[in-house]
Amino acid sequence: MKLHDLSKFDPSIKLVKNSEWPEEILAICTLDALTSGGMIFIKNAKFLQKLVPVIDQAVTLKVGAVVDEKFFNLVNAELKAELNKLPWIATSTQVPMALTLLSKPFFDQKMKGVNTQVDGRQMGTTDIHPTAHIAQNVFIGENVKIGANVEIQPGAVIHSFSEIGENTKIHSNVTIYAFTKIGRNCRIHSGTVIGSDGFGYTFHQGQHVKIWHMGGVVIHDDVEIGSNSSVDMGTFSPTIIGAGTRIDNLVQIAHNCKIGKGCVICGQCGLAGSVVLEDYVVMGGRAAVGPDSHIGMGSQIAGGAKVNESAIWPPGSKLGGHPAKDLKEWMRGVAYLRTMSLKEK
């Protein structure tokens, strides 16, 4: 896509720097995963502050930005000087909607080669190690790579451009969407879905307009995922599950989550979008973490606890209750309420 094409999707877009930028815009990217020729969206000071530490990388990769028009006009001279280092800048009166509308053409471009009708083995485009064991009634898309000693049981679906590392076992009726990478020695149990669309919409003029997801999923080595769980693909960069993590049945992991190594997530847990769990975090059954929260290394979340949106907890935290707080504080509160309620009888 060329720079002048942006306004075809969002008429409010105005080019304010390098309107004649000749190069193609190759992708929408995020500040934590900048890509060559990419485009980022900045709607407020929070996003601009995140850009400043990576501005040199963004310049090297020729990343441009679409900025909220009102915010752009209010940015102080120091921050605007940093922003102006980017090769091109545009403004929009509706940045969330601009991102939403522009996600569709980039999604279509990325998904051009995804064939869901004809098995890649018939097309001659798969790379399957001769020691892999693939049962009958398995669909494998184009350009799929499957390593040595992989076992795929009946009814599994592996969509295009996915990779499965050696010694991994995919149980019956697992669905793996396109652009998923699974490491070595993993086990994915029946009914689980890896890489389905994230739950992302922009409310505009009385409608929930879909944000098209294309970031994929990366699962590192030695991960086990129970049955009937779901790991959503990232919006523009991948959802990541670290090596050695264990995920129980009926777990929901939303788009753009980053789960560290050695984590344990028990049954019926839910992680909202862009949650970060550092290494060795443990979540008890039916615990939930709100969007954009960050849980430090080695923390423990008690069963049934609910961590609020955008919460930040340091390493070694022990949390319980709703809203989640320090476990001992929560238990003292529960004990106090019980004591007071008994006195009233």
Domain ranges of the chain: 3-112, 235-345
Alpha-carbon dihedral sign for residues 53, 55, 61, 67: positive
The residues with which 207 forms a beta bridge, in sequence order, are: 204
pLDDT per position as a tens digit, 121-163: 999 999 999 999 999 999 999 999 999 999 999 999 999 999 9
Q: What is the pLDDT of residue 37?
A: 95
> Of all residues in the chain, what percent carry a pLDDT higher than 70?
99
The answer to whether residue 194 scores a pLDDT higher than 80 is: yes
Q: CA-to-CA distance for 248 and 172, rounded, in angstroms?
A: 17
Mean pLDDT of 98-114: 95
> Of all residues in the chain, what percent carry a pLDDT higher than 90?
90
Q: Which amino acid is at 30?
A: T
Contact between 316 and 310 under an 8 Å Cβ cutoff? The reply is no
Question: What's the DSSP call for residue 62?
Answer: T
- Mean model confidence pLDDT for the chain: 96
Alpha-carbon dihedral sign for residues 215, 34, 218, 249: negative
Strand-pair category, 14-17 with 89-92: antiparallel
Mean pLDDT of 55-65: 95
The answer to whether residue 344 scores a pLDDT higher than 70 is: no
Q: What is the pLDDT of residue 340?
A: 86
The answer to whether residue 307 scores a pLDDT higher than 90 is: yes
CATH number of 3-112, picked from 2.40.50.140, 3.40.1390.10, 3.40.190.10, 3.40.50.170? 3.40.1390.10
Q: What is the pLDDT of residue 215?
A: 97
The answer to whether residue 20 scores a pLDDT higher than 90 is: no
Task: Report residue 186 as tokens.
Answer: 């993993």
Angle at 101 between CA 100 and CA 102, to 5 degrees: 95
CATH number of 235-345, picked from 2.40.30.10, 3.40.50.720, 2.160.10.10, 3.30.360.10? 2.160.10.10
Q: CA-to-CA distance for 83 and 67, rounded, in angstroms?
A: 10
Q: CA-to-CA distance for 37 and 53, rounded, in angstroms?
A: 19
Q: What is the pLDDT of residue 147?
A: 98
Q: Is the pTM of this model over 0.85?
A: yes
Q: What is the pLDDT of residue 237?
A: 96
Active centre residues (catalytic): 255
